[in-house]
Amino acid sequence: MHHVRPLPQYLVGRYHGWKATSYAENSAWFRRLADDGQRPRAMVISCCDSRVHVTGIFGAESGEFFIHRNIANLVPPYAPDGMQHGTSAAVEYAVMALKVAHLIVVGHTNCGGVAGCHAMCSGQAPELEEKSSFVGRWMDILRPGYERIKDLPEDQQIRALEREAVMVSIGNLMTFPFVEAAVQADELSLHGLVHDIREGTLWQAENAGRRWTEI
């Protein structure tokens, strides 16, 4: 525990600014969230990338979204093997405990995780093939997506794989029995989006990901 150090001052300053403005102006709402608990209508699974600001994109306030972030916004297949599964645990809690109505997978352009998966699967990143690579083993989830795009023209492959990261995740979500049951009961809807960082646009999957339209 001796490795834990105080926050950098620039973050301390930002916190005090938030406490004096956003919190002070909405303190009743924050107290209500604390006393009554969270009731988010949607879960968002997005990438860890610092450029992807999902609450900002949708103008969401505290308490609106249950958010889980990981590399390349991936969801693994259902695997009740007694091991530790952070993403699967978040999905279970959102669907079973919070009863969210919408589950949204948000991918993005210029994704480093997707680019790494492409490099690994095409033989250009042998270090990611190592068993000791946490990133490589995580990106194995996206290998089926790579197989579907590998014969496209090279300049189209990365963009297509970014969309596959969303659709692979949605397909894997449906392997969770409680997700499938909620979808079949019309209690949960699944949504796939890709955010274009440069243009600020948002594209949504339609027709099982065979078509993408700008919102």
Q: Are residues 90 and 33 in the same domain?
A: no
Residue type, 108: H
Q: One digit per residue, pLDDT tens: the chain, 215 residues?
A: 789 999 999 999 999 999 999 999 999 999 999 999 999 999 999 999 999 999 999 999 999 999 999 999 999 999 999 999 999 999 999 999 999 999 999 999 999 999 999 999 999 999 999 999 999 999 999 999 999 999 999 999 999 999 999 999 999 999 999 999 999 999 999 999 999 999 999 999 998 888 999 99
With beta carbons less than 8 A apart as the criterion, state whether 99 and 43 touch: no
| Helices and strands, counts by H and E, the chain | 10, 6
Q: Are residues 117 and 194 in the same domain?
A: yes
Question: How many domains does the chain contain in total?
Answer: 2
Q: Are residues 3 and 83 in the same domain?
A: no
**Cα distance between residue 191 and residue 102, in whole Å:** 7
| Strand positions, DSSP E, the chain | 42-47, 65-70, 102-108, 189-196, 201-206, 211-214
Q: Are residues 150 and 207 in the same domain?
A: yes
pTM over 0.85: yes
CA distances from 52 to 7, 47, 157, 187 (A): 23, 7, 21, 28
With beta carbons less than 8 A apart as the criterion, state whether 75 and 173 touch: yes
- Per the structure, the complete domain to which residue 102 belongs is given by 38-214
